[in-house]
Structure 1
Amino acid sequence: MSGKKRKPIRWGMVGGGRGSQIGYIHRSAALRDNTFELVAGAFDIDPERGRAFGAELGLDEGRSYPDYLAMFAAEAKRDDGIEAASIATPNNTHFAICKAALEHDLHVVCEKPLCFTVAEAEELKALSEARGRIVGVTYGYAGHQMIEQARAMVKNGDLGDIRVVNLQFAHGFHTAPVEEQNPSTRWRVDPKFAGPSYVLGDVGTHPLYISEVILPHLKVKRLMCVRQSFVKSRAPLEDNAVTLMEYDNGAIATVWSSAVNAGSMHGQKVRIIGSRASIEWWDERPNQLFYEIQGEPVRILERGMDYLYPQARIDDRIGGGHPEGLFEAWANLYRRFGFAISGDRGFALTDTGDLIFPGIEAGLEGVRWVENCVRSADAGGVWVDYSS
């Protein structure tokens, strides 16, 4: 790490209050490396609950706010006001909160989807560029180290020419209408809160972004999507979808997005198939990458080992053999967000390549992909041109 002392970025949260699993992982990740310091929050739609929760976190009483607009306005008047804000609220609020944060010259870390439409995403992108502010999107699985190993292997030509990409995030926890008893699930299947899709945006965009990290040179040319509501009460939102994509180099990809894969815990897998070899990563075994060369025994590459490419070892926290999980992956992303915000790349990142994190472009592409999938499915599963 560089020798100069780095001051933590003063940070506030919108949403993520008591009982929020996603709020807890945001705080655990952001605070782990002393990159961020939580100093303010608008944690709950109920101001009293929000203030009580802020007190539990050790915040000054006057810096737990009733809503995000009050927080942004008050903090802007302080010499020690927040420099960045994280958004951990339902989907339908993301655009307005992100826009307001940028208008107050704050950096933003936003839950996905960034917003509902490409037009909204492009507006946020233009605003972030005009204000010179970073927007990070929490595609948290992309912080696992073996994703960087996969990216380096493709770049080095270890797989040969890329031919086929198989992506899936297909769990089984919503095979029944669990939303009838679970408010935290209910909003995800309501178009007013979730937007134009359920599983396409909720789970499908995760492996899609990972594929974009591993295969930055491939661009989607066109796609075709079909989607179903197997739990009928969820219509018009889908709980299962299959997307077929063609890339500009002639390669093809499939994306299976599902919440009704009965018996599956997570089912997020990324398989990249080249002319010489294939690799496969499974988020339930995130410390391993399967490497399969045609005609040779399968190799299982392990996190933290010296035989990996340097890019895959930048974020090592403990030696090989010790399992790391989702909290470490999120912490890796928050550290990268912090480097991007502060301009301090540290950890010799400049020696091994660019600082890779899901930024405003990743958020925009996720929204574009969902929009095109919905357009294709609602037209009867037809091919649609994919423009970026």
Structure 2
Amino acid sequence: MIHGDRLTKSTLRWGMVGGGKGSQIGYIHRSAATRDRYFELVAGAFDLDPARGRAFGAELGLNPARCYPTYVEMFAAEAARADGIRAVSIATPNNTHYAITKAALEAGIHVVCEKPLTFTTAEALELQALAAARGLIVGVTYGYSGHQMIEEAARLVAEGVLGEIRLVNLQFAHGFHNEAVELANPATRWRVDPKFAGPSYVLGDIGTHPLYLSEVICPDLKIKRLLCARQSFIASRAPLEDNAMTLMEYEGGAFGTVWSSAINAGSMHGQKVRIVGARASLEWWDEQPNQLRLEVQGEPVKILERGMGYLNPASLADDRIGGGHPEGLFEAWANLYYRFALAMEAQDAGSPERVAGLRYPGIEAGVEGVRWVENCVRSADQGGVWVDYA
């Protein structure tokens, strides 16, 4: 990767639903997908206002005829073209993800979807079955998992450096919504409206991010039961929470916590992952993503740096520039998108075994995120009780 070597044989024709003018997440998707030339944006249904969406597509250099009023029209037209899109990214509010993903899969198009994938586990499992039946890839943008030091953390756990895992301490607790900012910000307003956001706010919006990182780092840990308490400190957000604490018991005896919050006043991002083993602990903080803290009992603390030769070769595979130079979220997202491209190309070639072992947040990660939120809400709505993980 550091030399810019191409990993796929061709560029995938790609479309977008949502992510139009003024969309921060749309810009991140386009920057990540096209950075390494694995995807070429050729079509879109960017906006609920067709004229505005078409104008935005023209700004991006697209053929106006391929800037569609709706995703339904886009999928139908593109599926009929010899040069139609092979993949689509969905950057729309939560309540639309299920329907758009299902329509794309039925049209034979690979999907990259924002999380949560759906509102219910049953819907997510339906999409999983549909993707399998059609031989299609569904990627979910847990973008922080593209940071290289997450791979290094996973390797350290796999190699037994930490010993038996005892504690998993997760948090994503920022302070930017400590007041009712949604009154003046439409981009936040829909996130606290159950009609658009679904059964949760911070649990699904940010809590699933460190949860997925823990699944990458400690893939053998399986949740046995959990307890969740959630609060709406801004009363108008009820029944959706702006703060939640989740306790988790894992099969085998390990214990975990997740603090999900948008009212941690003064915190910029506050996403941290700490894994505690019998011999050592590690910690990663997304505001310093190029470093991984390794603490071996009885030894000085070690700060492992991205891009250095002492890291596992698998952790160095995504280097885009030498050690010492900072890499950030755009690079992490681009790492996910090239993996999506590899998986999609292999699937289209009828040889998925070609990418066996390739790590990326696929449909399974989407299903598990929805399942976790559903169990958290079930626990919290019963007054914060332990529930078996179902």
* TM-score class, shorter: over 0.9
User: Paired residue for 1:109?
Assistant: 112
Deviation at 1:353, TM superposition (A): 7.8
The amino acid of 1:213's aligned partner reads V
Distance 2:277 2:218 in 1: 12
Name which of 354, 358, 366 aligns with 2:357: 354
Deviation at 1:61, TM superposition (A): 1.0
Normalising by structure 2, we get a TM-score of: 0.96
Equivalent runs, 1:201-240 vs 2, <5 Å? 201-240=204-243
Is the CA contact (8 Å cut-off) linking 2:149 and 2:292 kept in structure 1?
Answer: yes
Is the CA contact (8 Å cut-off) linking 2:175 and 2:262 kept in structure 1?
Answer: yes
Distance 2:6 2:36 in 1: 15
Is the CA contact (8 Å cut-off) linking 1:311 and 1:352 kept in structure 2?
Answer: no
Name which of 55, 70, 91 aligns with 1:88: 91
| Aligned: 1:7 with 2:25 | no
Cα deviation digits, residues 250-275 of structure 1 (max 9, x gap):
00000000000000000000000000
Cα deviation digits, residues 271-326 of structure 1 (max 9, x gap):
00000000000000000000000111110000000000111111000000000000
Name which of 171, 174, 177 aligns with 1:174: 177
Is the CA contact (8 Å cut-off) linking 2:8 and 2:341 kept in structure 1?
Answer: no
| Aligned: 1:334 with 2:337 | yes
| Aligned: 1:252 with 2:240 | no
Distance 2:84 2:101 in 1: 17
Deviation at 1:79, TM superposition (A): 0.3
- Aligned to 2:378, the other structure's residue is in SS state helix
User: Paired residue for 2:23?
Assistant: 20
Distance 1:152 1:342 in 2: 27
The amino acid of 2:43's aligned partner reads A
Is the CA contact (8 Å cut-off) linking 1:14 and 1:89 kept in structure 2?
Answer: yes
Is the CA contact (8 Å cut-off) linking 1:144 and 1:329 kept in structure 2?
Answer: yes
Name which of 202, 205, 209 aligns with 1:199: 202
The amino acid of 2:289's aligned partner reads P
Distance 2:6 2:212 in 1: 33
User: Paired residue for 2:350?
Assistant: none
The amino acid of 1:293's aligned partner reads V
User: Cα distance 1:78–1:272, how it changes in 2: closer, same or farther (>3 A)?
Assistant: same
The amino acid of 2:58's aligned partner reads A
Distance 2:85 2:363 in 1: 20
The amino acid of 2:357's aligned partner reads D
Deviation at 1:5, TM superposition (A): 7.0
Deviation at 1:352, TM superposition (A): 11
Distance 1:284 1:191 in 2: 30
Cα deviation digits, residues 52-109 of structure 1 (max 9, x gap):
0000000011000001000000001110000000000000000000000000010000
The amino acid of 1:319's aligned partner reads G
Question: Aligned-residue CA RMSD in angstroms?
Answer: 1.5
Equivalent runs, 1:266-305 vs 2, <5 Å? 266-305=269-308
The amino acid of 1:90's aligned partner reads P
Matched residue count: 382
- Aligned to 2:311, the other structure's residue is in SS state coil
User: Cα distance 1:59–1:230, how it changes in 2: closer, same or farther (>3 A)?
Assistant: same
For structure 1, which segment, 5-14 or 273-282, has the greater mean C-alpha deviation from structure 2 after superposition?
5-14
Distance 1:106 1:352 in 2: 19
Name which of 29, 32, 36 aligns with 2:35: 32
- Aligned to 1:222, the other structure's residue is in SS state strand
The amino acid of 1:284's aligned partner reads E
Deviation at 1:128, TM superposition (A): 0.2
Distance 1:66 1:84 in 2: 18
Name which of 180, 184, 189 aligns with 2:187: 184
The amino acid of 2:385's aligned partner reads V
| Aligned: 1:367 with 2:370 | yes
User: Cα distance 1:65–1:365, how it changes in 2: closer, same or farther (>3 A)?
Assistant: same
Is the CA contact (8 Å cut-off) linking 2:342 and 2:355 kept in structure 1?
Answer: no
Equivalent runs, 1:108-187 vs 2, <5 Å? 108-187=111-190
Deviation at 1:162, TM superposition (A): 0.2
Is the CA contact (8 Å cut-off) linking 1:310 and 1:352 kept in structure 2?
Answer: no
- Aligned to 1:226, the other structure's residue is in SS state strand
Deviation at 1:3, TM superposition (A): 8.0
The amino acid of 1:279's aligned partner reads L
Is the CA contact (8 Å cut-off) linking 1:173 and 1:260 kept in structure 2?
Answer: yes
Cα deviation digits, residues 92-141 of structure 1 (max 9, x gap):
00000000000001000000000000010010000000000000000000
Gaps of 5+ in 2: 348-352
User: Cα distance 1:51–1:135, how it changes in 2: closer, same or farther (>3 A)?
Assistant: same
The amino acid of 2:372's aligned partner reads W
User: Paired residue for 1:306?
Assistant: 309
The amino acid of 1:73's aligned partner reads A
User: Paired residue for 1:242?
Assistant: 245
Distance 1:174 1:4 in 2: 41
